[in-house]
Amino acid sequence: MKRLVVIVDSLRLDHYDYMTATQAQFGESYDRAFAVATATAGAFPQMMSGRYDAQHDVEDTDTWMHEINDPTCFITTNRLVSERYGYDDGVTQFSSPISRGDESVKDRIAERVPQGTVYEVLAKAWSFWQKATPDTKKSFRTAESVIKEFRDWKQDKQDWCAVLHLMEPHHPYDPEDTDHSRAQAQAISRDAIATETPSRPNDVRELYKHEVKEVDAQLERLWDIIDDETQVILTADHGEMLGEDGIWGHPGQTFHPSILRIPWVTQNVDIKGDVVSFIDIPAFLLRQDWREAQLDREVAYASMGELKYVFDNDWMITENDTFRLSDGNKSRADELRSRLERFDPSGISKQSGTREDLRALGYLDE
């Protein structure tokens, strides 16, 4: 059996409309798919372990990769999903920014210099130089490079299972085909994340849209090397805020449909339930319920820190807010709120991870 999971970091459900090549291949997205957290640090541990109460570090033998008898490949471009946190366990071929030695000069400073005044001076000096140089590099490894590595890995294999985790369009947004230089694009998007009133909000939205279009163009090359018998899931670990309620990015303590509703696009995957959760990926790959991953789901949950959310086909409910997705019965919303009170969240926070990894991804100040 051939199994492929493509996780596009920070991809909004409504921006799947711009992924014309992927739509041509697989059609429309299922519109009732939900994230389990508002950030990668919360989403991946729960999906890989099949447990809503997972912790950020994945323990030995804890992931569904051990259930796969075929050769496995896991390529990630996010430092928070690396061997540092146990994600290589049970994987035949694992590739991350850490294993590849892709750290920037600033990352190497973080690895070698203790936190303190000397570190802060060196890190700020590097950031200033990076902004000033005309040859600013992409913020993350490109989808093109990931797809090439995967193609080379799978070429001599009959059956396999692979997970590709792409960082486009995670902030800072720095697509190729815009009127801005890469350094300018990164500065514009960082400005949006840092404030509720960015100076160029429309430019930020356009940069994000271009990132989505560019990753779709690269994915078209991936679909060309995947046969019709391959089981495929394309989704996102979470979405992104583009100015809704004055919020940008994906803050850990913000539960909003733009972050929690995700695309869910498949080939040879039978969806039986009313809703689908990011945690259900292993159930669809293994073709059976696995721990808390389900093939036929009626209700889904999300958490970040001590905050928690419950979803069904009609409602999204937190302890303080209610979002109506369709004309659902009010009594059903009350029932979901009771379920939410009984749900035990993971406790994973936006700050789960080493300081240098969080800083490199823009979650901590320079």
CATH of the domain at 192: 3.40.720.10
AA identity, residue 47: M
pLDDT computed for residue 110 by the predictor = 45
Residue 113 domain-assigned? Answer: no
Residue 318 lies in a domain: no
**By C-alpha distance, which of 240, 261, 262 is closest to 251?**
240
CB 82 within 8 A of CB 98: yes
In a domain, 134, yes or no: no
For residue 117, what pLDDT is reported?
Answer: 55
Instruction: Give the mean pLDDT of 173-191.
Output: 89
**How many CA atoms lie within 13 Å of 358's alpha carbon, on the beta-carbon side?**
14
Q: Is there a domain that residue 252 lies in? A: yes
Nearest to 3, CA basis, from 144, 150, 212: 150
Stretch 126-140: mean pLDDT: 67
Return the pLDDT at 236.
99
In a domain, 181, yes or no: yes
pLDDT surpassing 90 at residue 131: no
The pLDDT value recorded for residue 60 is 84
Average of per-residue pLDDT across 272-283? 97
Query: Residue 275: what pLDDT?
Result: 97
Whole-number pLDDT of residue 133:
60
Largest Cα–Cα separation, the chain: 59
Domain that holds residue 64: 2-101+140-306+345-356
Instruction: Report how many domains make up the chain.
Output: 1
Asked if the structure places residue 219 within a domain, the reply is yes
Answer whether residue 125 is part of any domain: no
Asked if the structure places residue 280 within a domain, the reply is: yes
